[in-house]
Amino acid sequence: MVARMEVRKMRKVRKYDFPIVGECSSGEHRKSETVIADLEGALMRARSSFPYFFLIAFEAGGYFRSLMLLLMVPMILFLYNFVSEASGIHLMIFLTYAGLKVKDIEGVSRAVLIKFYADDLHSETWRVFSSFGKRVVLTASPRIMVEPFLKELLGVDEVIGTEIEVNKWGRATGFLKKPGVLVGAKKAEALKRWSMGGERTHVGLGDQVTGYPFMAFCKEGYAVPRTKVEAVRKQDLPKQLIFHDGRLVQRPTPLNALIVLTWMPLGFLLSIFRVTSGVWLPLKYIPVLYKLTGVKLIIKGKVPQAPKNGESGILYACNHRTLLDPVTVAIALGRPVPAVTYSISWISEVLSPMPTIALCRDREKDSENMRNVLKQGELTLCPEGTTCREPFLLRFSALFAELSDRIVPVAVRTQMNMFHGTTARGNKAMDPFFCHMNPRPTFEIHFLNEIPREISCSAGKSSFEVANYIQRVLAGSLGYECTHLTRKDKYRLLAGNDGIVPAKETKKLW
């Protein structure tokens, strides 16, 4: 009863009790001051944290846990609106977290949530917040869920959030440490504890309705209006977000989550049909099957002809967007051109419609294997070594440039409307199936001109010069940015390892 009265009292606060955030000055004079901002509804445009809980449930818990969370949305809303905000949030936490390993929650928070939080950063609040020297965030969400985004991407100094309870086996119990969910007056109390009862914080930024208690403790308080505003542009973020993981493309609002979970059983059956088509159908007929099943295949440029007897083998060097890139290149060529692979599952190798050459990370052996294949005609490889979802190209391995003087750069674009077909943390055997679970995926293959002979290793250029040249050519065609990042950088960030597969797991199936 007390909690309900407190919420009602806060909702009666007039919208002009605090000036709006647009009136707060920002600049160099703020560098010596401290700002504290509420996350939901202030630093973030959205006031609902459901999408982030759903992502944890889906990525770390699986289909049925995320379905249970979605089915409980009516109960969560009832508790939130008619009992207390804290009870609704606590129910979401329990349904999402109970039984999950803490390391899995941390992994999803760092690899998946960070991208969705970044897409929803409030531009006006960020303008003010980023100008202060010391930055603190208050949130009703579990601290473990928001800290990677706030500290690693935004450079926040301190995060004060709800603390979850963990058992001795390293699993979340679904219950909370005292004082429970940080909402209303509890945020003000947490702020006082953080400041050790000392000097009041210089500036507080909070929701127009529910931020009143903690903003009253600050010297200056500014309310964030509940009006539509643009999110911070990707290029204006303090750090470039190049790598992220997770299967879902769109922000899982309750409606989007319902569409995704409803589609998945049917989509999985459709993906099996699409993925296995290369086993029982000749490559030249697959474009027709793709068209009939909703896959959009776009082929640009002049499709190279297979080299004749006595001619040098052609090496197709393409950027890497999904596991299926070599497959779509072979389909575009209309012939089963062998492809170089690394760390793919045996299922993907068995279902491949063309021969695959597995790398063993031994330079001499890999070079010899690829040269032998090129003597027979053609070879496709992705010099990046791993996929990247954002418009960036990772550093190209230089080994491929030594293999042939006939190198054709191939620019690959993909567009997924529901699921990402790549993963660093999840089950790689499911990558082709998730890719083809999209209702209408798009694959664009653009064959560029063969590189001039004078820019080849036989003309005196080093393999690094050739690799960098091809990287720039592909980047220019795609409108992407070149980077020096590698496979190791990606896996260290997203999976906490170097992405190295033991030699016993690689197979040669050609």
CATH number at residue 348: 3.40.1130
Q: Is position 252 within any domain?
A: no
* Dihedrals phi, psi of 441, to nearest 5 degrees: -75, 155
**CB of 19 closer than 8 Å to CB of 222:** yes
Domain check: are 216 and 326 in the same one?
no
Q: Is position 141 within any domain?
A: yes
Q: Is position 258 within any domain?
A: no
Domain check: are 224 and 91 in the same one?
yes
The residue assigned the tokens 């063309």 is 354
Query: Which residue range forms the structural domain that includes residue 311?
Result: 265-505
Confidence of residue 11 (pLDDT cuts 50, 70, 90): very low
Confidence of residue 55 (pLDDT cuts 50, 70, 90): very high
**CB of 49 closer than 8 Å to CB of 218:** no
This prediction's pTM: 0.92
**CB of 219 closer than 8 Å to CB of 112:** no
The alpha carbons of the chain give a radius of gyration, in whole angstroms, of 26
Q: Which residue has the higher pLDDT, 211 or 440?
A: 440
Domain check: are 212 and 317 in the same one?
no
The residue assigned the tokens 């003597």 is 375
Q: Is position 244 within any domain?
A: no
Domain check: are 274 and 227 in the same one?
no
d(CA 199, CA 296): 61
Amino acid at 375: K
Confidence of residue 495 (pLDDT cuts 50, 70, 90): confident
d(CA 79, CA 88): 5
What's 79's domain CATH number? 3.40.50.1000
d(CA 76, CA 245): 28
Which of 180, 215, 236 terminates a domain? The answer is 236
Work out the angle at residue 498's Cα, subtended by the Cα atoms of residues 492 and 500, and round it to the nearest 5 degrees: 150
Q: Is position 88 within any domain?
A: yes
pLDDT digits (tens, 9 = 90+) for 383-428: 999 999 999 999 999 999 999 989 999 999 999 999 999 999 888 8
pLDDT digits (tens, 9 = 90+) for 222-243: 999 988 999 999 999 999 999 9
So what's the pLDDT on residue 197? 64
* Token couple for 55: 């992502």
Residue 29 CB neighbours (<10 A): 9
pLDDT above 70 coverage of the chain, percent: 94
Q: How far is CA 206 from CA 51, 86, 300, in A?
A: 21, 17, 51
Domain check: are 42 and 140 in the same one?
yes
Q: Is the pLDDT of residue 314 over 90?
A: yes
Confidence of residue 509 (pLDDT cuts 50, 70, 90): very low
Domain check: are 155 and 201 in the same one?
yes
| Neighbouring residues of 61: CB distance < 8 A, sequence distance ≥ 6 | 96, 100
pLDDT digits (tens, 9 = 90+) for 238-275: 999 999 999 999 999 999 999 999 999 999 999 999 99
Q: Is the pLDDT of residue 170 over 80?
A: yes
Q: Is the pLDDT of residue 361 over 80?
A: no
Please state the rounded mean pLDDT for residues 489-505. 76
Residue 303 CB neighbours (<10 A): 11
Domain check: are 141 and 32 in the same one?
yes
Domain check: are 206 and 291 in the same one?
no
d(CA 421, CA 322): 6
Domain check: are 342 and 401 in the same one?
yes
Question: Rounded mean pLDDT of the chain?
Answer: 90
Domain check: are 269 and 224 in the same one?
no
So what's the pLDDT on residue 26? 85
Total structural domains in the chain? 2
**CB of 406 closer than 8 Å to CB of 470:** no
Q: Which residue has the higher pLDDT, 311 or 337?
A: 337
Q: Is the pLDDT of residue 2 over 50?
A: no
Q: Is the pLDDT of residue 508 over 50?
A: no
The residue assigned the tokens 């960098």 is 468
Q: Is the pLDDT of residue 278 over 90?
A: no
So what's the pLDDT on residue 501? 63
So what's the pLDDT on residue 9? 45
Domain check: are 119 and 194 in the same one?
yes
Domain check: are 220 and 270 in the same one?
no
Q: Is position 291 within any domain?
A: yes
